[in-house]
């Protein structure tokens, strides 16, 4: 297995739990240790996706009083971790902290002592990824042992999934291109983030096509586009990058996506899926952030569930045109950030069983699916703005709304009133229910 094929995702809640626990003073040890339990998925291209599910501290009584090292734990601590890993069929990572800023590096003691711990953990869960994880205040280092590989490997990407997202990359340097000089305020790490992460777009219609060109302009290099439709004449009023000959030739919308993005950024890696995303779910799983521009509530429901299972933030956009009796037409829309561990579209009551049951209802009285170009542009630009702040934290303000409503008649965007009443963890998608479903003997 070649290098650079491991992605490690940690929910923000677990990341904060680890930081809080590892900073607690101990009666005699200079630092603390814990264990992070994970589930892993092997993609068709052999990429390993590791998803963290649970963290447990090492009990105070399981430390050995040894002043030659920061912390030394006894065999009971290792055995407890191994038993938990075996019982729950999970991988396991030894975790400690180097409490400084920047990417932490393992000490000589770490390298010498932790390889044996990793080997013991791998013996009880040989089909899962095991290893050790070092935290700093704002970054990570990990060494991972996967099935069939003798040596430990560094992940290509380690990410904490929350607001803001926190990344650590194996490759840590990227020259800044002159084309991006005027967006340098996004932070010194932004070029590397944009060059490394993978972003998906489900639905390359009026909204998705705006998103595609916006991502290309800011420098997102790895983009996956899902759409099973072809270009028709009725698409030409809003599908960015589509030309009249494309409707005549019934070109795939994904072809338009790749052509448009590559013309803006010739070095972009654009993967297209000209079928339903459910037929290629592994392409979803490989994305670090998803944009949803789908038409139906049912499709949103399925897409959100898939993203939640694989710890992928989802930015959903949509617009509609209504008319009640003899009243003027009313245009509205939404931008929703569905963040694993936080409120989902059901928590916001944007998705309800009643709406799903009435899915067959038509959109309004102006045709089957009324769509025009300018509200799609507003919503797509707003979603991409939320995305940029999410991955770079350039505004240093992650308390902003996750549910915005758009009044197309007045042009106003504001936080939806439901957002102020929706706080706390999501009860619909528990963080423990991640990764591929597993059957555990009772």
Q: Which helix (H) or strand (E) holds 300?
A: helix 297-309
Query: Which fold, 178-420?
Result: Rossmann fold (3.40.50)
Digit-by-digit pLDDT tens for the chain (442 residues) are 455 489 999 999 999 999 999 999 999 999 999 999 999 999 888 899 999 999 999 999 999 999 888 899 999 999 999 999 999 999 999 999 999 999 999 999 999 999 999 999 999 999 999 999 999 999 999 999 998 787 899 999 999 999 999 999 998 877 778 899 999 999 999 999 999 999 999 999 999 999 999 999 999 999 999 999 999 999 999 999 999 999 999 999 999 999 999 999 999 999 999 999 999 999 999 999 999 999 899 999 999 999 999 999 999 999 999 887 778 899 999 999 999 999 999 999 999 999 888 875 554 444 456 789 999 999 999 999 999 999 999 999 777 669 999 999 999 999 999 988 887 778 899 888 888 776 555 5
Which class for 442: exposed (0-12), middle (13-18), buried (19 or more C-beta within 10 A)?
Answer: exposed
Peptide bond into 123 cis (omega under 30): no
The angle that helices 206-218 and 373-392 make with each other, rounded to 10 degrees, is: 40
Which residues sit opposite 203 in a β-bridge?
A: none
Residue from 101, 78, 103, 81 nearest 92 by CA: 81
Q: How far apart are CA 387 and CA 269, in angstroms?
A: 19
The two beta strands, 289-292 and 269-273, are: unpaired
**Domain ranges within the chain, ordered by starting residue:** 6-169, 178-420
Q: How far apart are CA 114 and CA 120, in angstroms?
A: 10
Would you mind telling me the total number of residues written for the chain in this entry?
Answer: 442
Query: Which fold, 6-169?
Result: Cytidine Deaminase; domain 2 (3.40.140)
């Amino acid at each position: 297995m070649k290098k650079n094929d491991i992605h490690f995702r940690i929910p923000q809640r677990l990341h904060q739990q680890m930081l809080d626990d590892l900073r607690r003073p101990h009666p005699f040890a200079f630092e603390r240790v814990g264990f992070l339990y994970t589930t892993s998925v092997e993609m068709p291209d052999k990429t390993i996706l590791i998803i963290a599910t649970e963290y447990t501290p090492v009990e105070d009584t399981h430390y050995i009083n040894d002043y030659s090292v920061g912390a030394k734990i006894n065999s009971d601590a290792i055995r407890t971790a191994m038993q938990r890993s075996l019982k729950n069929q999970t991988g396991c990572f030894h975790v400690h902290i180097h409490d400084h800023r920047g990417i932490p590096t393992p000490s000589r003691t770490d390298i010498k002592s932790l390889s044996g711990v990793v080997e013991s953990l791998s013996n009880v869960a040989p089909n899962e990824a095991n290893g050790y994880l070092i935290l700093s205040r704002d970054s990570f280092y990990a060494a991972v042992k996967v099935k069939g590989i003798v040596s430990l490997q560094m992940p290509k990407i380690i990410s904490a999934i929350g607001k803001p997202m926190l990344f650590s990359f194996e490759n840590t340097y990227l020259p800044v291109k002159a084309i991006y000089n005027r967006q340098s305020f996004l932070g010194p790490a932004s070029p590397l983030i944009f060059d490394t992460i993978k972003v998906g777009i489900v639905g390359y219609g009026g909204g998705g096509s705006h998103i595609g060109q916006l991502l290309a302009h800011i420098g997102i290099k790895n983009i996956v586009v899902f759409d099973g439709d072809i270009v028709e004449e009725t698409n030409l009023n809003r599908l960015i990058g589509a030309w009249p000959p494309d409707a005549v030739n019934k070109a795939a919308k994904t072809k338009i996506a790749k052509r448009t993005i590559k013309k803006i950024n010739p070095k972009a890696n654009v993967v297209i899926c000209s079928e339903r995303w459910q037929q290629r779910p592994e392409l979803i799983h490989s994305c670090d952030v998803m944009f949803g521009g789908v038409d139906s509530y049912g499709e949103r429901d399925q897409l959100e569930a898939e993203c939640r299972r694989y710890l992928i933030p989802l930015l959903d956009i949509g617009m509609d045109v209504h008319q009640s009796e003899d009243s003027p037409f009313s245009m509205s829309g939404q931008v929703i950030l569905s963040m694993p561990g936080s409120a989902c579209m059901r928590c916001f009551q944007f998705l309800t069983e009643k709406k799903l049951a009435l899915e067959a209802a038509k959109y309004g009285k102006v045709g089957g699916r009324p769509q025009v170009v300018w509200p799609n542009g507003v919503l797509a630009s707003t979603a991409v703005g939320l995305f940029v702040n999410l991955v770079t934290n350039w505004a240093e303000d992650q308390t902003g709304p996750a549910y915005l409503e758009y009044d197309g008649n007045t042009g106003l965007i504001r936080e939806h009133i439901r957002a102020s009443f929706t706080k706390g963890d999501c009860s619909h998608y528990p963080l423990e229910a991640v990764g591929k479903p597993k059957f555990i003997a009772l």
